[in-house]
C-alpha cells in the first residue's frame, strides 16, 4: 500500500549562505509547495560549518524520514556524511548552491519548475554508490593536483570557504593554469602503474565538477566503480586545450589523459598536499580510496537521471 506523502515525517536542512542567498529564495518556494500539498515538515537552518551534520543526526534520531539538504555540494556532503550508514533513511537534495554537481547524478535541475516539484514529492528513490578516502565519505568526487589547488585557494587562512561568485572561482582556475607545478604519485590498483607524474587526478562517483567540468564523463552513480581521470604533465597550451574539452567531456582521446575504472586505489606522495573531497579541503600524503556500492538511498528524477545506469 502506498503511503500518502503527508504521513511521511519530512525534514529539510537549509544552508542559508549557500549560493550567495539562493537557498533563502528556495526556502520560500519550498514552503509554498509544502503548503500546497498539506505537508507539515520540519525546516531548520544550519548555523556554521559542520552544523548540518549535527542537525541530520538529531533528525534521524527523532525518526524524520526523508531528510532533505537544501544547498550545494558542501551541504549535501555534511548531511549525507552523517547519515550514510542509516539504511532506512531516504535522503534528498534541492540544489541551491554555486556548483550543484552532485545533484546532477540524481537528475535534479539547477532551478525547479512546477513539474520538478511534483516529481520530487513522488519520492522516487534509488541506491547510490559512495566513495571513501582515508575514512572520509565522498558523494560526487575527490581530486588531487590542479583542481585541489584551485579548491585550496577558495579557502581563507582559518579554513573557511571564501564567499564569492563563479567569477572568482574561474580566476583561481586561470591562475593555476598558468602557474601550477606538477608532482609525482605512486599508485596501486590500476593497470600496475606504480609511478606517474600528474597535473590532475580525479576520482569520482559523478561526472561533473565546478559547475560545468566533466572530468569523468563515463561515470555512473550506481555502477559500483570509481572513475579515475589522471592528466599527465602538460604545457600551457595543452592545459587550455584540455580544459576547453573538459567542458563537454571530450578530453579522453588526448594522449596525456589516462582514464580508469576500479573498485579501489591506493595513492602515495612524497609530501603532504592539498586534496578536496566534494570541494572540502584536506591535506595528506597517503590516500586509501574505495567504493561502497549501493550504499545510500536518494530521491531522484526518473526522466532526467541520465547518470544512473540501473534505473532504465
∠ CA 201-301-229, nearest 5°, is 10
Total count of domains within the chain: 2
Asked whether the CA dihedral 56, 62, 65, 66 is positive or negative, the reply is: negative
Considering the domain architecture, whether residues 242 and 147 belong to the same structural domain is answered as yes
Instruction: Give pLDDT tens digits for 113-128.
Output: 999 999 999 999 999 9
Instruction: Give pLDDT tens digits for 165-218.
Output: 555 667 777 887 888 888 899 998 876 667 888 999 999 999 998 777 899 999
Considering the domain architecture, whether residues 157 and 259 belong to the same structural domain is answered as yes
d(CA 283, CA 279): 13
What are the angstrom distances between the C-alpha of 204 and each of 21, 70, 235, 265, 294? 28, 22, 25, 12, 15
Domain range for 31 is 5-130+294-299
Q: Is residue 160 within 8 Å of 183, Cβ to Cβ?
A: no
Asked whether the CA dihedral 182, 184, 187, 192 is positive or negative, the reply is: positive
d(CA 259, CA 237): 21
What is the pLDDT at residue 1?
A: 47
> 166-179 and 236-246 helices cross at what angle (nearest 10)?
140
CATH classification of the domain holding 20: 3.40.50.10330
pTM comes to 0.89
d(CA 195, CA 72): 35
Count of C-beta atoms within a 10 Å radius of residue 4: 10
Residues 6+ apart with CB under 8 A from 101: 73, 140, 206, 208, 209, 210, 211
Considering the domain architecture, whether residues 178 and 287 belong to the same structural domain is answered as yes
CA-wise closest residue to 41 among 9, 4, 15: 9
310 lies in some domain: no
Nine-digit cell string for 86? 542509516
214 lies in some domain: yes
Is the pLDDT at 28 greater than 60? The verdict is yes
Considering the domain architecture, whether residues 203 and 89 belong to the same structural domain is answered as no
Amino acid at each position: 500500500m502506498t503511503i500518502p506523502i503527508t504521513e511521511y515525517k519530512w525534514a529539510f536542512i537549509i544552508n542559508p549562505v549557500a549560493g550567495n542567498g539562493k537557498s533563502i529564495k528556495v526556502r520560500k518556494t519550498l514552503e509554498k509547495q509544502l503548503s500546497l500539498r498539506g505537508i507539515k515538515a520540519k525546516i531548520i537552518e544550519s548555523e556554521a560549518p559542520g552544523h548540518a551534520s549535527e542537525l541530520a543526526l538529531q533528525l534521524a534520531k527523532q525518526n524524520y524520514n526523508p531528510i532533505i539538504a537544501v544547498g550545494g555540494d558542501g551541504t549535501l556532503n555534511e548531511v549525507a556524511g552523517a547519515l550514510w550508514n542509516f539504511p532506512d533513511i531516504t535522503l534528498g537534495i534541492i540544489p541551491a548552491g554555486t556548483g550543484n554537481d552532485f545533484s546532477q547524478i540524481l537528475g535534479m535541475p539547477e532551478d525547479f519548475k512546477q513539474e520538478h516539484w511534483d516529481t520530487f514529492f513522488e519520492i522516487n528513490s534509488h541506491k547510490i554508490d559512495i566513495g571513501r578516502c582515508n575514512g572520509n565519505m565522498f558523494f560526487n568526487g575527490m581530486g588531487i593536483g590542479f583542481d585541489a589547488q584551485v579548491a585550496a585557494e577558495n579557502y581563507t587562512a582559518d579554513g573557511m570557504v571564501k564567499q564569492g561568485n563563479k567569477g572568482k572561482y574561474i580566476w583561481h582556475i586561470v591562475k593555476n593554469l598558468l602557474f601550477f607545478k606538477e608532482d609525482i604519485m605512486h599508485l596501486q590498483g590500476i593497470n600496475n602503474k606504480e609511478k606517474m607524474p600528474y597535473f590532475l587526478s580525479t576520482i569520482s562517483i559523478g561526472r561533473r565538477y565546478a559547475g560545468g567540468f566533466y572530468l569523468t564523463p563515463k561515470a555512473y552513480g550506481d555502477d559500483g566503480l570509481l572513475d579515475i581521470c589522471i592528466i599527465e604533465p602538460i604545457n600551457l597550451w595543452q592545459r587550455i586545450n584540455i580544459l576547453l574539452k573538459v567542458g563537454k567531456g571530450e578530453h579522453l582521446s588526448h594522449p596525456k589523459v589516462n582514464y580508469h575504472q576500479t573498485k579501489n586505489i591506493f595513492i602515495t606522495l612524497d609530501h603532504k598536499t592539498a586534496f578536496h573531497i566534494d570541494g572540502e579541503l584536506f591535506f595528506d600524503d597517503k590516500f586509501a580510496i574505495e567504493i561502497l556500492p549501493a550504499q545510500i538511498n536518494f530521491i531522484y528524477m526518473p526522466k532526467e537521471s541520465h547518470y544512473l545506469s540501473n534505473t532504465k
